[in-house]
Structures are given as C-alpha cells and as structure tokens.
Amino acid sequence: MSFTRFVASAALALAGFSAFAAPALTNIVIFISDDHSQLDSQPYGSTEVRTPQMARLAAEGLKFTHAFVASPACGPSRTAMLTGLWSARNGAQPNHTPKRPDVPSLVPVLHALGYEVAAIGKVAHNTFAKDHGFDYIEGPNPGFTDTSGVRKFLAAHDPAKPVCLFVGTHHPHTVWSADRTYDPAKVQIPPTHVDTPVTRGERASYLTDVTKADTLLGEVRAMVREKIPGDTLFIYTADHGAAWPFGKWNLYDAGIRIPLIMAWPGHLKPATTSDAMVCWPDLLPTFIELAGGKVPDGIDGKSFAGILRGTATTHRDRVFSTHSGDNDFNVYPIRSVRTREWKYLRNLHPEFQHHTHISRSAGPSGLIYWKTWVAAAETDPAAAAIVKRYSERPAEELYDLTADPLEQHNLAADPKQAARLATMRADLDGWMKQQGDTQTVFGKPLLRGEPVTLITPGGGKKKGN
C-alpha cells in the first residue's frame, strides 16, 4: 500500500469506528531548540552552562546519550524528521530547500490517527511548514523568542482532542545575545577553538542563548501542564549542533549528536538513561506507533517505541548522516557512518576549501571571532593547525570514538585500521547506493588555493578577509 493510500485508509477506518470507545491517545509535545550541541547542557555533563529546566526534565524522565540528526543544517534536518526520510530521498539536500512535492510528510498520519497537529515557531524551515499538512501553523517565522504563540494556541485548543504540538525556539541560533549573562573570562574553550578575547565573548553570548532556550522550555512545560490534561509525552531536542567551527555544517559529533530528553509520567522511570542509538527520522514513526498506528512502509525512520515502553534496550547499530551544503557560503558535501565506537567520514571533494557562514558571511556571523583565529594563526602553531584543519580536509577520516571522543586524531591512514576502513567505506557505499545519492554539488565551490571572498547575505560577493 502506498503512503498516500495508507493515510486515506487510516482516516476512513477512524471514521468507521468512531461510534466505539477507543483508548485515550497520548498527547505529544516536542520542544526544539535551534543549533544546540548536546554537551552544552547540564544533563550531558556541562559544568558551566545553566540549564535547570533541561536538568529537571531529565530528572523526571529519560535521557538519550546517543541521539543523532540526519543532517547538520536546519532545513535538511527538520525535513528528515517530518518525512522519516534522509535528504537524498526527500529532496531537501542543501539548506533552504523544501522536500519534493511528491514526497509525503508523516504529519497527516498523526492527523488521521486523531491528533490535532500544530507547529509553532521554527519547526519546519523557512515557509515549509505549509508543505507538511499541519492543522495549525504559527508563522512562518525564524522561531519564537517568547511563548506568546504557544499561549495563544493552547487558549484556543479543545482539551478534549489529543494534540501533537511541535514548538521551535530561535535560541541559540546566531546572532547570539548581546546581553551576556556569562563572564567571558570564565567560559570554557573547547580544544577545537582558538582562545581569543573575542572568542570568549561570543562563547559567553552563545551560552546566554542556551539558557534562554532553557527558560522558554520551562515556560512551555508549565503551560502544557495547565492546559493539556491527561497522558502527555514531553520531549526536548535540537536540530543539530551549534554554529561553531566543526559543529553545525559538519558531520563530527559536535554537529550531529544532539540532546534528546523525554518525560512521560507513569510510563518512563525518572532519572533514567538510554544509550540506544536513535536518530531524528525515528521520531514521528515512534509517535505513530505509540498512537496505535502502523508506520508506513518504505521510510528510513524506525520506531523506538519499545525503548519507551521498556520492551527494548537497543535500536540501531549505526547511523548515517549527510551534508550537502548551504548556498555558496558552504559548498562542501560530506557523508558519514557512525557506530557506537567508530566514525567514518567521506569528504566528497577534498579539493574544495571548507568554509561556512563563519568564515564567508559579510553579515552578522562568526566572522567576528574567526578573524581573530586567522590572526592568531600567523604566530601560534596550534591556532594555525585549527584554522588549516577547518578549511582543508582529507578525502577520508576515521575516528576511534572511545579513545578520541572529540575526533581529533584521524586514523584513516593508519595501516592497523585498514580492514576497518575498508568495511566502513563499503558500508557507506552501499547505503548511498540504496538512498539514490547522486553526490550532487550544490553551489559554486572555492578550490584550494583560491582567495576566500566574503558573501553578503542575499547579495553578491565582496573582497575576502
């Protein structure tokens, strides 16, 4: 049965049996932050950022330690979540691109099962929420920075009808807050960053925005407890890692490994942790199964409802991720496969320079600190190594994640790892073939050796930095 016919038949079945009593559906609320790396929150071990609401959610429910996104850019990541398909199959490969019109969303399946399905703030990307069949959309907008839209929806919502509510905040997406609540002198600088005063200031601003997202999370939870009665599953997650070098736009864990915390009173044991490997395309299939529906055939997402019900402890043995680019700011396609212990990355065009908004945007961006990194690299060999690694990459990378969780030591050329490299290379090849991945280059790349020109958002290029 096709996906579209399944949605129609599910709706007819529900209509035909409406006279019979049915089990009450679980309300589902999913709170999505924008550009939040997993490690930058208290439940995942941070000792510097203040996220008491995330900590409270984890104390009341279940924290996933091995949760990943399909792609480390906003549009492809969110489209993969809403369709249950990786980017090559749903059409949203480079950022700012919608799904193909012929690709169904999973949202109508939830609607057919009896839910009012709402999107408030940045849930899909740009104006693309309209393409996914939501019953209610607040926007389009870049994501809420206060909870007025949520309050408006809940005030009008019929509490007798089950709801699947997606809410997406702008925080901590750039441009970061000027009203810093962290001391730049005391922030912790990751080993992938160059420690300059400007870096410290921007890091303090980023952490300020993480805490703002946490505050909004607490406000939404309070509203949900007040306005949505009955059985409710509440989820916190993020669309990918933060917009720092080696994070967003990259397939290192800082770009694809995200927070995923769930509270479900009466179902999930408080203060528990799961190391099951799950990914964003699995989310809506999980919701569908929890609601008693049948997950459509032929999608990439797999329900992990068994983890939530306590009937399973494992899910995937590997996750695949893809990145195809972000306009001319970032023309650098990458593919990866990650097991629990190892990561293999393939840079499809190592002859290209790797750049992003951080190093090419003439508008508000990370350029403010990136310039100080480039300046430091002139006299500091450690800074020079970081800057070079950012922009020049080999064809293949292999990391032992147990010994090297920050992915600093590429073992692809190590003869001891030749067999492992060949196995993971073949694994990725097979998956890319199954996906129909044409490895298309989107945009005009910068070749190694070419001068770096800056790009004005919405405009043309200007002289480089």
Domain ranges of the chain: 26-314, 321-462
| The residue type at 207 | L
Minimal CA–CA distance to 210: which of 263, 264, 251, 247?
247
Strands of the sheet containing 396-400, edge to edge, are 319-323, 334-338, 342-347, 396-400
List CB contacts of 208: < 8 A, sequence separation 6 or more.
Answer: 176, 177, 179, 180, 181, 182
pLDDT at residue 168 in the model: 97
Minimal CA–CA distance to 411: which of 432, 389, 396?
396
Task: Please state the pTM of the whole predicted model.
Answer: 0.94
Considering the four listed CATH numbers 3.40.50.2000, 3.30.1120.10, 3.30.565.10, 3.40.50.1360, the one that applies to the domain covering 321-462 is 3.30.1120.10
Minimal CA–CA distance to 227: which of 155, 172, 121?
155
The C-alpha atoms of residue 26 and residue 95 are separated, in whole angstroms, by 33
| Structure tokens that stand for 184 in this block | 């730049």
From first to last of the 465 residues of the chain, give the pLDDT tens digit. 444 444 444 443 333 333 333 458 999 999 999 999 999 999 999 999 999 999 999 999 999 999 999 999 999 999 999 999 999 999 999 999 999 999 999 999 999 999 999 999 999 999 999 999 999 999 777 788 999 999 999 999 999 999 999 999 999 999 999 999 999 999 999 999 999 999 999 999 999 999 999 999 999 999 999 999 899 999 999 999 999 999 999 999 999 999 999 999 999 999 999 999 999 999 999 999 999 999 999 999 999 999 999 999 999 999 999 999 999 999 999 999 999 999 999 999 999 999 999 999 987 789 999 999 999 999 999 999 999 999 999 999 999 999 999 999 999 999 999 999 999 999 999 999 999 999 999 999 999 999 999 999 876 566 556
Which phi and psi (to 5°) does residue 27 adopt? -70, 145
User: How many Cβ atoms sit within 10 Å of the Cβ of residue 376?
Assistant: 18
Minimal CA–CA distance to 33: which of 205, 212, 190, 164?
212
Minimal CA–CA distance to 283: which of 164, 200, 437, 419?
164
**SS3 state at 255:** helix
Q: Which CATH class is domain 26-314?
A: alpha beta
List CB contacts of 83: < 8 A, sequence separation 6 or more.
Answer: 90, 99, 103, 104, 105, 106, 281, 299
Q: Per-residue pLDDT tens for 134-147?
A: 999 997 777 889 99
List CB contacts of 99: < 8 A, sequence separation 6 or more.
Answer: 79, 82, 83, 90, 91, 92, 105, 128, 131
User: How many Cβ atoms sit within 10 Å of the Cβ of residue 135?
Assistant: 16
